[in-house]
Chain A
Amino acid sequence: MGSEWDPLLADDNSSGKVVRCVYSQTLNLTRDPPEGIFAMIDEHRATIVHALICGPRDTVYDGGFFYFLLRFPNDYPFSPPKVRLMTTGGGSVHFNPNLYSCGKVCLSILGTWSGPAWTPVQNLTSVLLSIQSLLSTDPYYNEPGVPRNVVASEQYSDYVRHETMRVAVLDMVGDTSLARSMPPKLLSVARSLFIAHFPVYRDTCEEHAKRNPEGAAFADPLGKTTGTFCWRGLGSRLAAVGSRLGAANFEPDAERSERDAEGEGGGQGGSGSPSGGSGGEWLSQALTPRQRHASPGQPAVARLSA
């Protein structure tokens, strides 16, 4: 159990070559960002990149903000960056069989998992896309060798969905030390996406409060965590954070009224993702063209510190 993977424990001497490489790869990413991925270079250390990966829609990570720190070694791109997940609830949440609660990211291209290793044609974008692909619909099955088990998979998903709301949503946009530790530009990206997605969060809390009774223990089939469900508590926290950030009155579009109409049809929809297309386009909606092509002074999207 070494700590070679950990960007927080690496040396801080950097060559000009690496700095240029990191700069151009970050620039490429911000010019043509994959959906739900944002990145920026640290203001003081040019070989450190802060990245925000949004949980893809229709997964248990939907609407979550996963904050990563990447450090590019001196021989980059000939060896991979070191990557750490910072969104761990203070080391308490095991978001995925490949995302440890200590922040370690297990991916073969990072040299922290078996499988195809790093090669120098990988880059910042491909690393972040690989991480994003871990945030999948049934994360339980990322655990190697587990047999097909629908009940266990649902139990794990219930746990992850709850912790996504508690830690990857509310801790990330609320007034927490984790939120304060992020670059302000990334925080404002997360907060504006939060506001756009607010009605969906509210529905998720309501829906899952019915499914997972308040105070019931997590049933983590991988046995890595303990804790209890508190969807009602999260609902109140959501309302408080939402009103502080000005999201509580957010009824932006036809989408919301569609969802209300669907809701009146009776709640026989399954668990899991919000019904149909509702909540689906939140990321693309939130990323208006104005934000995508950030202009000077525009705080939202990950611009490079020159």
Chain B
Amino acid sequence: MQVTVKSWHAVASWTWTSEDDVCGICHMPLDGCAPGAPGPGDDSPVVWGRCSHYFHLMCINTWLHNKNTCPICRRKWEFARCAA
């Protein structure tokens, strides 16, 4: 069977936010626990780069040992200031 949508009247939309709320490196929730962190929350903080990409602090720090670039956009990584 094939269905053709002839018109579409959107009244509302919703989405899970979880997809955006995971760390791109470890794929764990940002408010969860990075691998190797002692616990979630303040023990596993999230940091932003100036490029606006964000990761668990532990995850990005491990990467920065290798290379000083953002894992997503490959620009030079610079930490954004707090409360950006």
Chain A interfacial positions (CB closer than 8 Å to B): 17, 20-21, 24-25, 77-79, 116-117, 119-121, 123
Interface pick from B1-9, B22-30, B42-50 = B22-30
Within 8 A of A (CB), among B28-78: 35-36, 59, 62-63, 65-67, 69, 71-72, 74
User: For chain B, which range describes its interface: under 10, 10 to 19, 20 to 34, or 35 or more residues?
Assistant: 10 to 19
Determine the distance from Cα of A123 to Cα of B22 in the docked complex, in whole angstroms: 14
A21 and B74 in contact, given A78-B62, A78-B66, A120-B63 (Cβ under 8 angstroms): no
- CB < 8 Å neighbour of A17 from B35, B66, B69, B71: B35
Determine the distance from Cα of A204 to Cα of B62 in the docked complex, in whole angstroms: 51
Pairwise interchain contact B72-A119, C-beta atoms closer than 8 A = yes
Pairwise interchain contact A21-B26, C-beta atoms closer than 8 A = yes
Determine the distance from Cα of A123 to Cα of B27 in the docked complex, in whole angstroms: 10
B23 smallest CB distance to A (angstroms)? 9
B72 smallest CB distance to A (angstroms)? 5
B9 smallest CB distance to A (angstroms)? 29
- What A residues does B69 contact at CB under 8 A? 119
Chain B interfacial positions (CB closer than 8 Å to A): 24-27, 35-36, 59, 62-63, 65-67, 69, 71-72, 74
- In the complex, the chain A residue whose C-beta lies closest to that of B62 is A78
B46 smallest CB distance to A (angstroms)? 15
Pairwise interchain contact A120-B36, C-beta atoms closer than 8 A = no
- What B residues does A77 contact at CB under 8 A? 25-26
Pairwise interchain contact A121-B25, C-beta atoms closer than 8 A = yes
- What A residues does B24 contact at CB under 8 A? 120-121
- CB < 8 Å neighbour of B59 from A24, A116, A120: A120
* Listed A/B pairs (8) with beta-carbon separation below 8 Å: A25-B27, A116-B74, A119-B67, A119-B71, A119-B74, A121-B24, A121-B72, A123-B27
A269 smallest CB distance to B (angstroms)? 28
Determine the distance from Cα of A78 to Cα of B63 in the docked complex, in whole angstroms: 6
Determine the distance from Cα of A25 to Cα of B28 in the docked complex, in whole angstroms: 12
Pairwise interchain contact B35-A120, C-beta atoms closer than 8 A = no
Determine the distance from Cα of A117 to Cα of B67 in the docked complex, in whole angstroms: 11
Determine the distance from Cα of A121 to Cα of B66 in the docked complex, in whole angstroms: 14
Pairwise interchain contact B74-A120, C-beta atoms closer than 8 A = no
